[in-house]
Amino acid sequence: MFSCKFGRLISGLCIPKAAPMCGMSPTGFSWSAVCQRRTLRLQRTQKNPEPCHLSLRQSSHATVDPDEVRRFQLLSSKWWDEQGEFAALHAMNDLRVPLIRDNLLNMHPKNHPGRPLSGLKILDVGCGGGLLTEPLGRLGASVLGIDPVEDSISTAQVHASYDPELRGRLRYQACTLEELSAEAEEAGRFDALVASEVVEHLADLETFAFCCNHMLKPGGSLFITTINKTNLSYALGIVVAEQLLRIVPNGTHDWEKFISPVELERLLESNGFSVQTVQGMLYNPLSGAWSWTNSTAINYALRAVKVRDDVQPEPTDGTEEEESHRTGTHS
């Protein structure tokens, strides 16, 4: 279970370039919408405090935490060591690859023997060395893997170059999700977005959720695996895994960045998603294997579907009434 945490190394992290100012970019990507949503969320939290920590993290427009980037920069050459720091992530493919494959097949039932995901475009956010990107490419998908750590992207590119089967199916780019979202040719073109062991390292989840919506086609699928914010996840993921057993380097995780399924679902649904499933995951450090479980107390996987493009700030108190008078409609 503890090693669930080590996988978390990566993602979403990025060496941020200058944080964009609130406003509309030439591509139609609206930072002003992100700013407004964050302000309104903070206002609601101050009026009606909730037992969640989401608002405490909404302080920047960059999803990345520079400290996380520096930490994973040191591990960038070790991604493909199946017995090393990323062993649990290698093993996690036994669950997350079938999860992604089967759900996408249900939504896109095309017959491509041997390459069931052919014709689909997938964005792998926080791809690291390509541990998940490559198997998705082998299933026939066209996959773009992004990560802010340039050395990790270099490791991914070199490893993929040894497999001729992957040529033309994989692309890698050293960037953040918000940087990619500002590129007009990339926005709204993906059938699925994967963020596996990423969100617990991010600096700004509001921007992350907004950008996920921006990158997906309507009806596109979002797959997330992460760590719950519970006493048990702290005890096993940090105290045991990092401080006692040294399964992962000390300091890999910050419990304050963990997020509960309820909080994550609330965030996603306010950004144009409908959460379809949430399933617990359990890691056995003795066997080195993952299994599905009914408990989400430690690790869990979430699948959501984009239901709308028009992610706009939620109305403040009284706005809905003012709007009904303006349009002449009443409930």
pLDDT digit string (tens) for 55-67? 333 334 688 778 7
197 is in an annotated binding site: yes
Transcribe 167-213 into DSSP letters: TTTEEEEE--HHHHHT-TTTTT-EEEEEEET-GGG-S-HHHHHHHHH
CA 139 to CA 309: how far, in whole Å? 28
CA 186 to CA 176: how far, in whole Å? 13
Percent of the chain with pLDDT over 90: 52
Residue 322, class by beta-carbon neighbours within 10 Å (0-12 exposed, 13-18 middle, 19+ buried)?
exposed
Q: Where are the alpha helices (DSSP H) in 248-331?
A: 261-269, 319-327
pLDDT confidence band for 288 (50 / 70 / 90): confident
96 is in an annotated binding site: yes
Q: Does the pLDDT value for residue 138 go beyond 80?
A: yes
CA 221 to CA 179: how far, in whole Å? 20
Once rounded to an integer, what is the mean pLDDT over residues 31-35? 52
Which pLDDT value is given to residue 324? 42
Q: Residue 121's beta-bridge partner residues?
A: 142
State residue 218 phi and psi, 5-degree precision: -55, 130
270 is in an annotated binding site: no
Q: Does the pLDDT value for residue 323 go beyond 60?
A: no
Which pLDDT value is given to residue 112? 80
State residue 10 phi and psi, 5-degree precision: 145, -160
Residue 23 carries which side chain, given as an amino acid letter? G
Q: Pick the range with the lowest mean pLDDT from 120-134, 284-298, 309-323.
A: 309-323
Q: What is the model's pTM?
A: 0.76
314 is in an annotated binding site: no
Which pLDDT value is given to residue 82? 92
CATH architecture assignment, domain 66-228+257-306: 3-Layer(aba) Sandwich (3.40)
pLDDT digit string (tens) for 147-205? 999 999 999 999 999 999 999 999 999 999 999 999 988 889 999 999 999 998 898 99
pLDDT confidence band for 312 (50 / 70 / 90): low
pLDDT digit string (tens) for 109-130? 877 888 999 999 999 999 999 9
Transcribe 78-100 into DSSP letters: -TT-TTSTTHHHHHHHHHHHHHH
pLDDT digit string (tens) for 38-95? 555 545 544 444 433 333 333 346 887 787 787 778 888 899 999 888 888 999 999 9
Distances from the Cα of 105 to the Cαs of 93, 109, 112, in angstroms?
A: 17, 5, 10
126 is in an annotated binding site: yes
CA 165 to CA 138: how far, in whole Å? 7
pLDDT digit string (tens) for 207-261? 999 999 999 999 999 999 999 988 887 776 666 665 666 666 665 666 578 899 9
Question: pLDDT: is 200 or 24 the higher one?
Answer: 200
